[in-house]
Amino acid sequence: MIVTKKLVKRFGLKTVLRGLDLEVQAGEFVALLGPNGAGKTTFLRILASLSSPTLGEVIVAGYRLPRQASAVRHNLGVVSHMPLLYGDLTAEENLRFYGRLYGIREAGQRITEVLELVGLESRRRDLVRTFSRGMQQRLAIGRAILHDPDVLLFDEPHTGLDQDACDMLDRLLRKVAGEGRTVVMTSHDLARVEELASRFDVLSRGIICASSSRKDLGRKNLLDFYRQALEN
């Protein structure tokens, strides 16, 4: 579902990604771990077609980037620590707007379905700026799955959320990932991703330096695996 080969990204003289190879199978939930500045967000922005690779090959949902960016965007939902929502529109208006951009059929029915899924049906006519950070993040997930994408990218979705909001978000993430979608999520919260992901990849100095499935991790602690990966 996602393949990158020898992916390089440079910003001027600074090289952020140095030949990154990654393969994610359909239905996998991959947690991308790594220290600040490792290139996680840059990598996700390339997968999301928001940034062009300097060198290398990128295939998302069977389409090559950047050439087939439009086809990729049809099959992709993105949630970042920013909600990508308009505060002066209601929850329903935000989804209707994105629905129009994505050309969604039966938009009214789909919006109701999504709002019920994220638990915001009762707040559909409220302005987004009146929502708590947790509610905005739930609506952001609703926006990301509105067009029913096959691939979801989450860039540190827990940032700025309190414990309860994080728990609620995790339940929602499990639900949307459990619908057969391929998910790549970056996070610094190892305890949370340990519960959610089926595979853990560690990104350091622009390459994937370690990878383990949940099964292979066995009884080993994710924190130990992560520390070991960074030390090697």
Partner 1 sequence: MMERKNRYLKATSSLSKAIGAIVWKDLAAELRSRELLSAMLVFALLVILIFNFALELDAQARRVATAGILWATFAFAGTLGLNRSMAVEKDRGCLDGLLLAPVDRSAIYFGKSISNLAFMLIIEAIVLPVYSVLYNTNLFHPGLILVILLGSVGYVAVGTLLSSMAVQTRTRDVLLPILLFPVVIPILIAAVKASSGFLQGLTFTDVMPYINLLIVYDVIVTAVSYMVFDYVVEE
Contact status, residue 132 vs residue 120, Cβ threshold 8 Å: no
CB of 77 to partner 1, least distance (A): 8
Binding status of residue 138 toward partner 1 by CB under 8 A: no
Nearer to partner 1, 120 or 202 (CB): 120
Q: CB 230: neighbour CB atoms within 10 A?
A: 16
Tell me the number of residues near partner 1 by CB under 8 A.
Answer: 41
Binding status of residue 50 toward partner 1 by CB under 8 A: yes
Parallel, antiparallel or unpaired: strands 182-186 and 29-33: parallel
Binding status of residue 64 toward partner 1 by CB under 8 A: no
| Cα–Cα distance list, 151 to 6, 49, 124, 144, 179 (Å) | 21, 13, 26, 10, 11
Query: Helices marked H in the chain — which ranges?
Result: 40-47, 69-74, 91-102, 107-117, 133-145, 163-177, 190-196, 214-217, 222-231
Contact status, residue 20 vs residue 206, Cβ threshold 8 Å: yes
Q: Which stretch in 15-23, 84-92, 156-164, 208-216 sits in contact with partner 1 by CB under 8 A?
A: 84-92
Q: Which stretch in 45-53, 54-62, 156-164, 186-194 sits in contact with partner 1 by CB under 8 A?
A: 45-53
Contact status, residue 29 vs residue 197, Cβ threshold 8 Å: yes
Nearer to partner 1, 196 or 202 (CB): 196
Nearer to partner 1, 19 or 97 (CB): 97
Identify the H or E element spanning 29: strand 29-33
Binding status of residue 164 toward partner 1 by CB under 8 A: no
Residues within window 180-199 making contact with partner 1, judged by CB under 8 A: 180-181
Binding status of residue 100 toward partner 1 by CB under 8 A: yes
Binding status of residue 130 toward partner 1 by CB under 8 A: no
Of the residues 22, 30, 32, 49, which one makes contact with partner 1 according to CB under 8 A: 49
Residue type, 184: V
Q: Which of 226, 162, 181, 167 is nearest to 60 (CA)?
A: 181
Q: Which stretch in 13-21, 118-126, 175-183, 203-211 sits in contact with partner 1 by CB under 8 A?
A: 175-183
Binding status of residue 178 toward partner 1 by CB under 8 A: yes
Binding site for partner 1 (CB under 8 A): 27, 45, 48-52, 70-71, 73-74, 76, 78, 80, 82-89, 93, 97-98, 100-106, 110, 127, 143, 147-148, 178-181
